[in-house]
């Protein structure tokens, strides 16, 4: 970045920006700390225009415009240009708004200065998607049926009726579903789109639809896995072009190939590395033992004789896709004598538009402490199955109209699985909502075992744990330099036995900050074991329903812990914290020492 200081009395703005953007260099006609003195700003701009990613002018807009005018070529190659008035009140995106990043830079600079951003690009000012940068944002390849990409862009920003095809699922399609403007209708299969009723089609798909009769913007996500087999030292000459042509003829986008896979026996084949290099994708190598377990439609006794696996191309494609969907069975090719090869194509399991279960950490209780990702899932779910009285019902109020919301408090594991699978089999999205973070006493192990056994797609969205909420509520840093650097998350021994070596009195030897879950009912035993190593005056806190509306927190000393819990009628939803880190204000992090300040300037 280059900061062109036109207005000499605005040095403070340039220096403030440079502190936040250390790689930016200041150019001015007079001396300024950290800057370069130049005799002509116009000549400096001419020199820098093709060398920098961004030009930040501080001063009159007219000077900015006249300085860059002779050098403007193309929005795909021109740098981002932003102009800030001499008072720092307005930050204006001047050139290369979307593609060059000027709009993002404008927003960033406005936040730095507390200024008002001025962005005239229509999609930004109207809150519409920036279709020309959307692909880069989510790692999709972008192309259009029109030679002039501005034609479909104009249709979209002018709010012409648009059909949005989402025949795969990923982070980007979830975003599009959630933020679709009023003039956009979402479809999940091309055959369902009445094209005559629309002026534009936006397709997020690994496929092509050549029969489309309206302008189309394609976003091709990398969700396809190519499996490859070949004879030893197969010549790669012409094969990448052959496979690309074959896929194109079958309306499959080569741009959606995410990796190339094969068996270990073929890992040094020139064909494998030629394909990977030309397509710019990684390779996945599997052993015969891994591939022979994959169920495939076209096993070969000859392939098994050579490789010990009945399949290479189909099996490696499926294995790489995490046993997704085989969309192209084994194809045989031979461009010259002795150079036989096979290839198959599978779609990632996670990309399939089928049922899915998202295990979401609800956080400690406050509905605003669920993660942004978790909230998005709650807003999109067809079924929310939440952990009864352990999760505040307010969290389920994020549910969309028509969603089914059920408590699992009275259900057995089998009943929970039955209702989730019923929705899953219909291709629905299920949220299994657990308190805190699911990985800490979340009881998800048994559920995941069932999901694995039935081949069900699932994922975990982590949540804020109650031990983190306890630190916040106690206004305490649970790690104190040179005093305590370890936090132990554990529970007392009740109906669930503790493993050898994890008894409370054994863990207490370290005198670390200890956060004890699910143990209010056995507090006498907890206190007794902790006193074996912690001094009686060690600070403790009994935190009941952290972040809930009826949160209560009681501080004291370890020798009075049982009394505190009993006298206040605290229950299983109580987190017990013990350790000298509670309320400790002594001991500073060395990161604030002068010798470490350079770390913050990187």
- Alpha-carbon distance 452 to 322, whole Å? 12
Confidence of residue 602 (pLDDT cuts 50, 70, 90): very low
Confidence of residue 178 (pLDDT cuts 50, 70, 90): confident
* 3-state SS class at 488: strand
Starting at the earlier edge strand, list the strands of the sheet with 487-491.
487-491, 513-517, 574-578, 539-544, 552-557
Q: What is the CATH number of the domain that holds 250?
A: 3.30.420.180
- Residue-range definition of the domain harbouring residue 366: 356-464
One domain for residues 395 and 484:
no
Instruction: Sort 526 into a burial class: Cβ within 10 Å, 0-12 / 13-18 / 19+.
Output: buried
Express each pLDDT in 320-361 by its tens digit.
999 899 999 999 999 999 899 999 999 998 899 888 999 999
Task: Specify if 247 maps to a domain.
Answer: yes
One domain for residues 75 and 153:
no
Domain boundary residue, one of 220, 247, 281: 220
Domain boundary residue, one of 178, 193, 220: 220
334: enclosing H helix or E strand: strand 325-334
Q: What is the DSSP string of 256-292?
A: GEEEEEEEGGGTT-HHHHHHHHHHT--EEEE-HHHHT
Task: Specify if 511 maps to a domain.
Answer: yes
* Residue reference for tokens 């229509």: 122
One domain for residues 435 and 493:
no
- Taking each helix axis from N to C terminus, what angle separates 171-179 and 131-138, rounded to the nearest 10 degrees? 140
One domain for residues 305 and 259:
yes
Instruction: Kindly report the number of other CB atoms within 10 A of residue 524's CB atom.
Output: 14
- Alpha-carbon distance 576 to 150, whole Å? 61
CA-atom Rg of the chain in angstroms: 30
Whole-number Cα distances in Å, 574 to 84, 97, 579: 53, 52, 17
Which residue, among 334, 333, 343, has the nearest Cα to 312 in the 3D structure?
343
Instruction: Sort 305 into a burial class: Cβ within 10 Å, 0-12 / 13-18 / 19+.
Output: exposed
One domain for residues 12 and 107:
yes
Output the furthest CA–CA distance in the chain (Å, rounded): 88
One domain for residues 238 and 252:
yes
One domain for residues 453 and 381:
yes
Q: Could you tell me what percent of the chain has a pLDDT over 70? A: 96
Task: Specify if 123 maps to a domain.
Answer: no
One domain for residues 471 and 574:
yes
Residues, the chain: 602
* Residue reference for tokens 């109020």: 397
* Res 31 pLDDT > 60: yes
* Res 313 pLDDT > 90: yes
Q: Flag the least confident range among 31-35, 272-276, 497-501, 590-594.
A: 590-594
Q: What is the CATH number of the domain that holds 165?
A: 3.40.1390
Q: Flag the least confident range among 422-426, 464-468, 513-517, 594-598.
A: 594-598
* Res 588 pLDDT > 70: no
Express each pLDDT in 534-549 by its tens digit.
999 999 999 999 999 9
Q: What is the CATH number of the domain that holds 59?
A: 3.40.50.11220
Number of separate domains in the chain: 5
pTM for this structure?
0.70
């Amino acid at each position: 970045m280059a900061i062109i200081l036109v207005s000499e009395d605005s040095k403070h703005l340039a220096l403030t920006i440079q502190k936040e953007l250390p790689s930016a260099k200041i150019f001015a006609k007079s001396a300024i700390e950290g800057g370069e003195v130049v005799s002509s700003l116009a000549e400096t701009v001419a020199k820098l225009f093709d060398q920098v990613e961004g030009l930040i002018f501080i001063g009159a807009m007219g000077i900015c415009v006249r300085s860059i005018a002779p050098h403007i070529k193309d929005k795909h190659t021109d740098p981002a240009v932003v102009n800030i008035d001499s008072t720092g009140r307005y930050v204006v995106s001047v050139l290369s708004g979307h593609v060059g990043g000027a709009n993002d830079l404008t927003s960033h600079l406005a936040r730095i200065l507390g200024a008002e951003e001025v962005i005239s690009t229509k999609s930004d000012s109207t809150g519409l998607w920036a279709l020309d940068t959307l692909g880069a944002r989510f790692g999709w390849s972008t192309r259009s049926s029109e030679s002039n990409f501005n034609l479909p862009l104009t249709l979209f920003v002018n709010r012409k009726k648009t059909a949005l095809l989402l025949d795969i699922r990923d982070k980007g399609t979830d975003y599009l579903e959630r933020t679709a403007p009023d003039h956009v209708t979402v479809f999940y299969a091309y055959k369902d789109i009445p094209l005559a009723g629309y002026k534009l089609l936006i397709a997020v798909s690994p496929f092509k639809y050549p029969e489309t009769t309206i302008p189309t913007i394609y976003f091709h996500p990398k969700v396809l896995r190519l499996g490859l087999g070949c004879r030893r030292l197969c010549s790669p000459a012409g094969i990448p072009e052959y496979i690309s042509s074959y896929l194109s003829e079958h309306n499959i986008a080569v741009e959606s190939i995410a990796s190339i896979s094969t068996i270990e026996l073929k890992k040094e084949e020139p064909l494998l590395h030629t394909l990977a290099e030309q397509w710019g994708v990684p390779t996945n190598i599997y052993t015969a033992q891994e591939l022979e377990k994959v169920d495939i439609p076209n096993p070969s006794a000859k392939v098994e004789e050579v490789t010990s696996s009945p399949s290479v191309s189909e099996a490696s494609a499926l294995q790489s896709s995490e046993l997704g969907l085989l969309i192209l069975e084994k194809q045989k090719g031979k461009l010259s004598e002795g150079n036989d090869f096979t290839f198959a194509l599978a779609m990632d399991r996670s990309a399939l538009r089928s049922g899915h279960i998202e295990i979401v950490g609800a956080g400690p209780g406050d509905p605003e402490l669920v993660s942004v990702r978790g909230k998005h899932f709650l807003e999109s779910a067809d079924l929310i199955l939440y952990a009864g009285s352990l999760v505040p019902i307010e969290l389920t109020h994020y549910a969309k109209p028509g969603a089914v919301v059920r408590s699992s408090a009275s259900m057995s594991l089998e009943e929970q699985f039955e209702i989730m699978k019923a929705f899953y089999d219909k291709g629905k999205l299920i949220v299994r909502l657990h308190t805190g973070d699911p990985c800490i006493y979340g009881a998800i192990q048994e559920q995941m075992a069932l999901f694995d056994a039935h081949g069900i797609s699932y994922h975990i969205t982590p949540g804020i744990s109650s031990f983190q909420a306890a630190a916040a509520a106690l206004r305490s840093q649970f790690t104190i330099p040179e005093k305590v650097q370890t936090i132990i998350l554990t529970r007392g021994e009740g109906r669930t036995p503790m493993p050898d070596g994890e008894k409370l009195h054994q863990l207490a030897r370290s005198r670390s900050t200890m956060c004890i879950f699910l143990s209010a009912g056995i507090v006498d035993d907890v206190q007794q074991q902790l006193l074996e190593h912690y001094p009686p005056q060690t600070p403790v806190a009994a935190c009941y329903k952290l972040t809930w509306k009826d949160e209560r927190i009681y501080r004291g000393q370890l020798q009075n812990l049982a009394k505190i819990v009993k006298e206040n009628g605290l229950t299983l939803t109580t987190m017990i914290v013990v350790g000298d880190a509670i309320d400790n204000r002594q001991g500073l992090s060395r990161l604030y020492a002068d010798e470490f300040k350079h770390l913050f300037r990187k």
